[in-house]
Amino acid sequence: MGLSHLIQRSITKKLFSSKPSNILPSSWFLTDTTGKSFYHSGGSNGAKINSFDDTDSLKISKSSYHVSSGGFMRGVVFWEPNKPVTIEEFQMPRPKAGEVLIKTKACGVCHSDLHVIKGEIPFASPCAIGHEITGEVVEHGELTDRKTIERFPVGSRVVGAFIMPCGNCFYCSKGHDDLCEDFFAYNRSKGTLYDGETRLFLRNSGKPVFMYSMGGLAEYCVVPAHALTILPNSLPYTESAILGCAVFTAYGAMAHAAQVRPGDSVAVIGVGGVGSSCLQIARAFGASDIIAVDVQDEKLQKAKTFGATATINSKIEDPIERIKEITGGRGVDIAVEALGKPLTFSQCTQSVRDGGKAVMIGLAQAGAIGEIDINRLVRRKVGVYQWVSYVYLCIFGQCLGGNFFQ
């Protein structure tokens, strides 16, 4: 969840080049620019490249369970912190029961991906990164139930969620898909899916590659069906890629944690992918004063197009004092922290008025600690809310429904 770089680049030649190559992790957006995604066949030589539109070259059984084996794909691999990620060749991933193979159409680069690349969030390596995906259903794992196959038939347009609920654990059974025990115990802790195994293996060596969520910066990815929802035909693949992460994180925070109402004053600290989504949602909900805070003038200028009525460069001005000045000395009704830094955490809690709400949605570096004035929290009725307790109502309740909501 976090800063999504929607810089669409035509990288088809690089992705299909004969040798692994480095990419720019902070500004890369994978998209199927040719209108087709390629499936490489021909065994170890990979001599033939076939399009999925060429049904004579690629056989998909009528039961939709099996894609012809022997192929390979390419995807992005993180090896170690602060080193360039590379594009590598993988054996074609195979879904298991309850899982779906997706032909990736677009994948955003989220700030949490960058946290992993920079070593700020420990994660198993080597791993395939990327979790803001849209794509097309290609295959169901064997023994997948008929209900799932009917809900996501081959050829369906889908969007994936960054949290991939198992649908069966204690929390999933209670509708708290965002707290899925298996997701955090297996995927986030070990880099695997819920049988304790990855679905990704390097083509030549067979070495396993771990998965950060589904490892969506690749030509194909395996996703548990509970983490998918149908993408309407009216929504384009590229622009919709952040729906399963940045946008729904923002919506859950603004609709359910902050509960923005017409006339509310709102400050958003950090206007990347999540923050800019918060601005748009606040405007849609009828907020009056909408204040954007960041350290980059370019982002602040764009924030005005997303609904900001005032902007503050916190490198130049004290955001707390400026916010109070704009709001008649009281502070805003709702302050949102969308960056994940101890400093911005403090700014958020100090910018909200007495009785207001401070909403935290930025993912911080592992071990980061924020300070708060306890007496103000207790005596002046300042509410502090974290996104994870509320976002599931949006992500999984209204759009991506796990087994509890289906």
In the chain, the amino acid numbered 28 is W
For residues 199 and 275, membership in a common domain is answered with: no
Domain total of the chain = 2
CA distance 101 to 65: 10
For residues 62 and 168, membership in a common domain is answered with: yes
pTM beyond 0.75, yes or no: no
Kindly give the pairing relationship between strand 99-108 and strand 200-201: unpaired
Residue 6 has a pLDDT of 32
For residues 43 and 131, membership in a common domain is answered with: yes
Tell me whether residue 329 is in a domain: yes
Give the pair of three-digit tokens for residue 278: 């918060």
For residues 260 and 235, membership in a common domain is answered with: no
Radius of gyration of the chain (CA): 22
For residues 22 and 122, membership in a common domain is answered with: yes
In the chain, the amino acid numbered 162 is F
- CATH (domain of 170): 3.90.180.10
Structural domain harbouring 333:
248-387
Tell me whether residue 6 is in a domain: no
For residues 225 and 327, membership in a common domain is answered with: no
Residue 383 has a pLDDT of 53
- CATH (domain of 351): 3.40.50.720
Give the pair of three-digit tokens for residue 7: 């810089």
List the pLDDT tens digit at each of the 406 positions of the chain. Answer: 332 333 233 222 333 233 433 333 333 444 443 333 333 322 223 322 222 333 333 333 333 333 445 689 999 999 999 899 999 999 999 999 999 999 999 999 988 899 899 998 899 999 999 999 999 999 999 999 999 999 999 999 999 998 898 888 999 888 888 889 999 999 999 999 999 999 999 999 999 999 999 999 999 999 999 999 999 999 999 999 988 888 888 888 898 888 999 999 999 999 998 999 999 999 999 999 999 999 999 999 999 999 999 999 999 999 999 999 999 999 999 999 998 888 998 899 899 998 888 888 877 667 777 777 766 666 554 555 544 333 222 333 233 333 332 2
Residue 60 has a pLDDT of 32
CA distance 349 to 384: 8
Residue 4 has a pLDDT of 34
Residue 177 has a pLDDT of 83
CA distance 384 to 406: 31
For residues 23 and 77, membership in a common domain is answered with: yes
Residue 61 has a pLDDT of 33
Tell me whether residue 7 is in a domain: no
3 state SS for the chain: CCCCECCCCCCHHHHCCCCCCECCCCCCCEECCCCCCEEEECHHHCCEEEECCCCCCCCECCCCCCECCCCEEEEEEECCCCCCCEEEEEECCCCCCCEEEEEEEEEEECHHHHHHHCCCCCCCCCEECCCEEEEEEEEECCCCCHHHHHHCCCCCEEEECCCCCCCCCHHHHCCCHHHCHHHHHHHHHHCCCCCCCCCEEECCCCCEEEECCCCCCECEEEEEHHHEEECCCCCCHHHHHHHHCHHHHHHHHHHHHCCCCCCCCEEEECCCHHHHHHHHHHHHCCCCCEEEEECCHHHHHHHHHCCCCEEEECCCCCHHHHHHHHCCCCCEEEEEECCCCHHHHHHHHHHEEEEEEEEECCCCCCCCCCCCCHHHHHHCCCEEEEHHHCHHHHHHHHHCCCCCCC
For residues 90 and 166, membership in a common domain is answered with: yes
- Tell me the sheet residues that pair with 76: 87
- Domain end point (choices 244, 273, 305): 244
Please compute, for residue 13, the number of CA atoms within 13 A of its CA located in the half-sphere on the CB side.
Answer: 2
For residues 168 and 287, membership in a common domain is answered with: no
Residue 402 has a pLDDT of 37
